[in-house]
Structure 1
Amino acid sequence: MEFPAGGKMGRAKVWQGKRGGVALWGIEKDEYFDRAQLYGEGGGDYPDSLERFNFFARAAVELARYIEPTPELIQVNDWHAGLVPAYVRALGLPMKTLFTIHNLRYQGEFPPQDFRKLDLPEGIFRPEGLEFFGKLNLLKGAITLSDAVNTVSPTYAREIQQKEHGCGLHEVLREKGKWLSGILNGIDEEVWNPARDGELKKNFRRGNLAGRLECRVALEREMGLEPANGRPIFGMVTRVVQEKGVDLVLGAGREMVQQGGRLVILGAGDPALEKALTGLAAKHPKQIVVRTGYDEGLARRIFGGCDFFLMPSRSEPCGLTQMYAMRYGAIPVVGDVGGLHDTVEDWNPGKKAGTGLRFEPTEKGMRGALSRALALWDTP
């Protein structure tokens, strides 16, 4: 397939297939996408990110023109596909566009002169289009130029219209009015199934949790935790960044240890936070263990072996790990934001109802939540 891209003719290989009766189309361009990482290396984007994703957006639109019958709707996800609505409008195509926001913090901002690298008319670089405070902003442009916008939870859809969570785009989002909505994410319960998960020491299911006790003991041994001391294990599988509230663990974690709790953390991200966490673990080697990086097998064993799952996020569009944890029988202890509010029902001791513990994502709130969790553990 050939098409204009970046001021020259672009060429991409197109793959077609079917799965479950659904037609699938793939775009191949090794020059841009056969790389070690998807978005970038060393914590940043690849330097040619605009060129890469401009090519991808234009290729997707050209493919939509080719498919018969012509698609009625193109759904695009995050800023990386954010130029699709602009190309649909510029080319006068009949299909509608739906833009889905997974995380508003990542916006695809570039210098204004980079607009010339795109194959779009100058009139689209304006406040009603791709321009935002003098910069080229792909996420903002997708919001304004798409027919409708949705995000991954109802609470996050409300939050991002407020200054505190709007990442500078709250007023732009408010202007979408009824065309902005939140649809709650979900998980594949066959993929995340403790009854068949080969990574677990022993499989288990609702109504028969004997295997989970074996998973708990196995996690203690694998992590080198103080064994079977009658105190709970708290688990975390997370990006190690401030947004995820990891810094809150540094203060509250010490108090948890003093009360006999154990903590297992798996994640990677901010080097300074990683260093602080590993330093905390070094002071409490039998009670706190930190593994940097990501290992899906270990993540599954943490879900299946911890008693409480910590997710002290300051912002969370939806979150999936709290749902994985609940699926595997761990009680989530979460910041009361975004999709965490929508997926975790706060425990009400009077009604004996709830699926976890929610708290304001501050150090005080975190300490209170850990105290509630430990009190719940000690309640027969």
Structure 2
Amino acid sequence: CALPISRVWGGERGGVALFALEQDEYFDRAGVYGEGGVDYADSLERFVFFSRGAVELARYVEPTPEVIQVNDWQVGLVPAYVQALGLPMKTVCTVHNLAYQGEFSAEDFRKVGLPEGAFRPEGVEFYGKMNWLKGAIRMADGVTTVSPSYAREIQEKEQGRGLEEVLRGRGERVTGILNGIDVVAWNPATDGCLPKSFKVGSMAGRVECRSALEREMGLEPANGRPIFGMVTRMAGEKGVDLAWGGVKEIVKQGGRLVVLGAGDRAMEEEGRKLAQEHPKSVAVRVGYDEGLARRIFGGVDFFLMPSRSEPCGLTQMYAMRYGAIPVVGRVGGLRDTVEEWDGERETGTGFLFEPTAEGLAGGVDRALAIWNEPAMMKKVRRNGMTRDWSWAAAVPAYEKVYQALVNERGS
């Protein structure tokens, strides 16, 4: 397809050269991918433009890039463009969530500007359709995912979303690298969204944050009743239905639940209904408010993530950073970031469970078992707050992938 004219902006930050493509017709919009839960109708044209533009930019900037890093299906055609043009750059595709693959009809292939030979099983074709993520996985020189466990899971049928054989076919080219978080931006000692700051060794402010959260969410003040929190997209893969199914038991055992999130309309409505049924114990806010999210992280006792699939997950890391003890599904990045509490050794940062109704009940029971043990609660909380959740480990891991690919050029 014909590409519109765009403007290229350049700059530098921290010694790193930065470039941006400006094209208001495609990208000066209210949403990034769509609005109201619906993708933009011209998604194909938008991301063909972005992908082609990025490749053209890489061709002409100096020094010439050695590696092009692409993320998810929206730029999944970049490896195909690089191959078609015979460019010397290596490409790495990072899969953040295999559920989103960028599928288009075979007829749409003529719009992407690739040679006919690219529409084949070794390229972007997948069961008669064009699949951008599959093409990137197949054609990139390296493939990474956002956690080691997710890298293993997506090579099996249960989590592979139909691409498990394609991924297994890449063998050692598939690497799982755990994401980090911005520990400067997410710091309870300096977070202006919290009513009171706190840090390890000085936790009085967290007690005030807890009381303030009770007031903000309309919960009955009760120091003796634990608060579970969720900040989530309301979807089946996030296990929100499991959480709703466990509400009555949580309340029966003296717990309370605060939830912030949006997504599936039926799940939103069910959450509102549960809040009406338990007005003093359950509070649900539909939508997203980063300030409130931070106050939930800094005010709840336990952070609940009953995910059935979780490529990496960041909220459990935010929660631990802010002193909330995670109670999470044993999947993906949750498995890699949350260590099961061991009371005898006093090691671990939270509780993991199989993402089923029975598993959730067991995880909640284990969390409640330490609620009346202040010394134990303090130790688990401290373990989570003192872990290094930064990008310190991920950066050299990516560098290792890039360097290995660059070295191949000279071998």
- Shorter-chain TM range is over 0.9
* Counterparts of residues 147-186 of structure 1 (less than 5 Å): 147-186=141-180
Per-residue CA deviations over 1:153-194 (Å, capped at 9, x if unaligned) read 000000000000000000000011111000000001100000
- Ranges of 4+ aligned residues in structure 1 off by more than 6 Å: none
Q: How far did 1:41 drift? A: 1.5
| Partner SS, residue 352 of structure 2 | strand
Distance 1:163 1:193 in 2: 39
| Partner SS, residue 10 of structure 1 | coil
Give the partner amino acid of 1:350: E
Q: How far did 1:235 drift? A: 0.5
Distance 2:102 2:70 in 1: 14
* Counterparts of residues 215-230 of structure 1 (less than 5 Å): 215-230=209-224
Distance 1:100 1:283 in 2: 43
Higher helix share: 2
**1:113 matched residue in structure 2:** 107
Q: How far did 1:42 drift? A: 2.3
**1:72 matched residue in structure 2:** 66
**2:305 matched residue in structure 1:** 311
Aligned with 1:359 (options 337, 353, 358): 353
Compared with structure 1, are the counterparts of its residues 251 and 9 closer, same or farther at alpha carbon in structure 2 (3 Å cutoff)?
Answer: closer
Between the two proteins, the alignment pairs up a number of residues equal to 374
| Partner SS, residue 109 of structure 2 | helix
Compared with structure 1, are the counterparts of its residues 215 and 132 closer, same or farther at alpha carbon in structure 2 (3 Å cutoff)?
Answer: same
Distance 1:326 1:379 in 2: 19
Distance 1:361 1:259 in 2: 20
| Partner SS, residue 279 of structure 2 | coil
* Counterparts of residues 196-345 of structure 1 (less than 5 Å): 196-345=190-339
Q: How far did 1:9 drift? A: 4.4
Aligned with 1:139 (options 133, 139, 144): 133
Distance 1:169 1:350 in 2: 42
Q: How far did 1:69 drift? A: 1.1
Q: How far did 1:350 drift? A: 2.5
| Partner SS, residue 157 of structure 2 | coil
Give the partner amino acid of 1:368: G
Aligned CA-pair RMSD: 0.8
Q: How far did 1:21 drift? A: 1.1
Distance 2:133 2:17 in 1: 28
Give the partner amino acid of 2:60: Y
Q: How far did 1:376 drift? A: 1.2
Q: How far did 1:379 drift? A: 2.7
Distance 1:247 1:36 in 2: 30
| Partner SS, residue 31 of structure 2 | coil
Give the unaligned 5+ runs of structure 1: 1-5
| TM-score, length of structure 1 as denominator length | 0.97
Give the unaligned 5+ runs of structure 2: 375-411
Q: How far did 1:216 drift? A: 0.3
Matched, 1:87 2:81: yes
* Counterparts of residues 44-59 of structure 1 (less than 5 Å): 44-59=38-53
Compared with structure 1, are the counterparts of its residues 243 and 9 closer, same or farther at alpha carbon in structure 2 (3 Å cutoff)?
Answer: closer
Per-residue CA deviations over 1:48-73 (Å, capped at 9, x if unaligned) read 10110000000000000011111000
Decide which moves more: 348-357 or 308-317: 348-357
Distance 1:66 1:316 in 2: 38
Distance 2:292 2:157 in 1: 38
Give the partner amino acid of 1:266: L
Q: Does the 8 Å CA contact 2:3/2:49 hold for their aligned counterparts?
A: no
Matched, 1:349 2:343: yes
Report sequence identity in percent. Answer: 70
Distance 1:348 1:82 in 2: 43
Distance 1:137 1:218 in 2: 48
| Partner SS, residue 26 of structure 1 | strand
Distance 1:85 1:354 in 2: 41
| Partner SS, residue 74 of structure 1 | strand
Q: How far did 1:349 drift? A: 2.1
Distance 2:174 2:344 in 1: 37
Give the partner amino acid of 1:138: W
